[in-house]
Amino acid sequence: MKIKVNEDRNPSFPFDQLIAVFDTEEQARAAADQLAGQFPDIEDVDMLSGPEGVRIFDATGNAHGSRAHLVRGLQHAGSGVNELYLVDEALRGGRVMLRVPCKPSDAIAIADVATAHGGEMIAWFGRHSMINIPSA
């Protein structure tokens, strides 16, 4: 599994991905290493951090065009608390986000791995929705 750091690979908006926020890059890498062993079909994951990570995450969708803005609007409407802005704030505060492609059926198992390595603010992104996954 390859970890791609601050690569903007999803110009409109990613879907079928799980995100988790970690305090350190080391925690995120440890989670990715464990995921590589458990889910060999996952080819690569994204690690976002710093100002470039904030720009790529794009909590409003404004930086990635009208389609991304519309999708973000749907996600904002579907969540009680605005988790997208909490993730944005975490990135601005020096934390690290890991973004893992996954099928809905694998989301809980991947979230468990992230939690075991200190992951928080775990959510799965569908095509037009976002589902929070509580930490174990």
Does residue 6 sit within a domain?
A: no
- The CA distance from 131 to 133, in Å, is 6
Q: Running DSSP on this structure, what letter comes out for residue 64? A: G
- The CA distance from 47 to 92, in Å, is 14
pLDDT at 78 over 60: no
Residue 41 CB partners (closer than 8 Å, separation 6+): none
> What pTM was estimated for this model as a whole?
0.81
Does residue 25 sit within a domain?
A: no
Does residue 79 sit within a domain?
A: yes
Banded model confidence at residue 134, pLDDT cuts 50, 70, 90 = confident
The whole-number pLDDT of residue 1 equals 80
pLDDT per residue over 27-73, tens digit each?
Answer: 999 999 999 999 988 989 999 999 999 988 877 665 555 555 555 55
Domain range holding 48?
A: 33-122
Are the beta carbons of 21 and 104 closer than 8 angstroms? no
Does residue 97 sit within a domain?
A: yes
Number of domains in the chain: 1
